[in-house]
Structure 1
Amino acid sequence: MEKQESTAGMKASNFVLENKGKLKEFYKIGKLIGSGAFGDVRICLHKESNSQRAVKILYKANMTEEDEKMLLNEIDILKDLDHPNIVKMYEFFQDEKRYYIITEICKGGELFDEIIDKGHFSEQDASVIMKQLLSCLNYCHSRNIVHRDIKPENILMESNKDFNQIKVIDFGISVVKEPDQMINESIGTPYYIAPEVWLKNYDEKCDVWSAGVIMYILLSGTPPFNAASDAEMKTKILEGTFSMEGKVWDEVSDDAKDLITQLLTLETDKRISAGDALSHPWIAEHCDPEFDSKLAKNALFNLSKFRAEEKIKQATIAYIASQLLSKKEKESLSSVFKAFDTNGDGMLSKEEIKNGYEKVFGYSINEEQITAMFKAVDLDGSGYLDYSEFVVATMNEKNLFSEKKLKAAFKMFDKDDSGYISGDEVKESLIRIQKFSDDEINEIIGQVDENGDGEISFEEFKIIMTKMNE
């Protein structure tokens, strides 16, 4: 069953926007960490949160009209994605000469380089990588997004080389399609292109084929289809025959070989989906999710106490989730999120939260309790807890609403930097989420404006934000 995000309510992605200011007002630019045909990638420091990020600097003079179209397509898709294994985009800038795309930073290099260094992977390590990749694809496919360029070069590692923290990048040639629509454009990287892509008649299962190629390479160190030219490569892929014979394959389990075969099935209607692949015995056997029991207990305790009835508080939390959480803050809770996300779709259902309680505390919660919890935490009204919703609702309150974060969030509303938030400023900040009438704006102001002067001071703002458990 497909799960679509609600268009109403407060989403972290509402705050992933083009920043009309100058880049250097918000970021300190650091050393070069990569370069390509269109520009460079540098480390940058976000002044407001003091966190390191990456800035991709793209020179317009080096780009064709089609290149710019692809870039804007990537921005449009990436800003709405909220998954622990998809690189997060924070915002973007542009001036007369350049585009600047701000994303989270991954310092461990590409999975491709790790494959070159290691030769091939153990089944344990390979399964951890594949589970995350398949979860990412399942999440995208449930939103009708087809990546179309899944390959080891588009999977980044963290500096600690923890295989449980990979990030999928480069959504430049991704496409959003209707559920029954077929795509008729041949595009991608030859080694990883599915046969139906060569034939220009395909859907999201082309990504599943690419994942199968990656799994084959992880376990053997060589690609399933290899040739001296693209034409010869195309012929081999269209035939769809590959070998799992030889010394390296003698040590690979039958379950692993079975999953590769299902991923690399020529006929798409018989090829396994990303969602079904996640429940394959090979994944289940090797990927029993590990998490810190104390961290999980604290997370569920905070989740049960989370309250955000006021619209301005909901918007503030969404803004903090989108722009102000550090990588460390988010990823400290990612293991708990992944452990609870048993079907690997990148979201938590009521049933998965109930099962999480059972797993952590040895007892479950009733339907009334879970419904009340979701009403408080599910800020976008989708019926599921997104990654960012889960993180902000399970964080320690003092960290979530630290003085520094609250001042940054207040500044987001306080457009004229007067030290007070007016009704017009609230309206301007919330209009990106939904349209509010003047009466509704006055009601929102009234929820926070304790002295009734029609404006919100920082102290009034701070009181309503930290009134979590009342």
Structure 2
Amino acid sequence: MTTTDIDWKSFLDKVSTEKDWDEFLAKFPVDMTEEEKAKRAEIFAAFDPNGNGYLSLAEIDKGCRDILGLYELFEAKKAIMRAYQAAKGVGNNSDETGADYVEKNEFRLLLVYLRDYFILWKIFEKIDTGNDARINMDEFMTGVSKIETFFGIEIAEPEAEFAKIDANSGGQLLFDEFADWALKKILLGEDKALV
């Protein structure tokens, strides 16, 4: 299973029914159809104003806001950074510079990651009631039922699960920790580990 197999709309509808998620998801042409490939090429060209064939973080950030019109995503810097870090250098076929940027052959993957990490960010925000970009134990305990609903899982031992997610043992869940855990839960199921 990959993130492209997930019905993200059902996740989004659980997060908020106030937004048109179909319109949001349509801004990420990630399918392998000719129409979507053409849309991606057009969007990449708009993101790449200097035409050098690769995108910096600043160009991606600006493109999310100005080209895609995704102002909410533009405000979700952690999701953008995570998507950028995950996509850059994956398909590096050019010079050494390419590893530091997102190249055209990595753009589809970037769009997948932007979509996925933004959705996880929205879920993270629902649990982070202190609005400090961290989830403490109290917030996690209060949000367990939401997490179970969002991901369709059962958390039998919330304190132990919190400790498992808290990779740096800082007593707070950071977005990166939450996103890693959530993707493993969604993609691999309850007790499976990444191989």
* Fold shared, TM-score > 0.5 on shorter chain: no
Q: Which has the higher contact order (CA 8 A, sep 6+)?
A: 2
TM-score grouping bracket, smaller chain normalisation: 0.3 to 0.5
Which has the larger helix fraction? 2
Which has the larger strand fraction? 1
Normalising by structure 2, what TM-score?
0.44
- From the CA coordinates, give the structure whose radius of gyration is larger: 1
Normalising by structure 1, what TM-score?
0.20
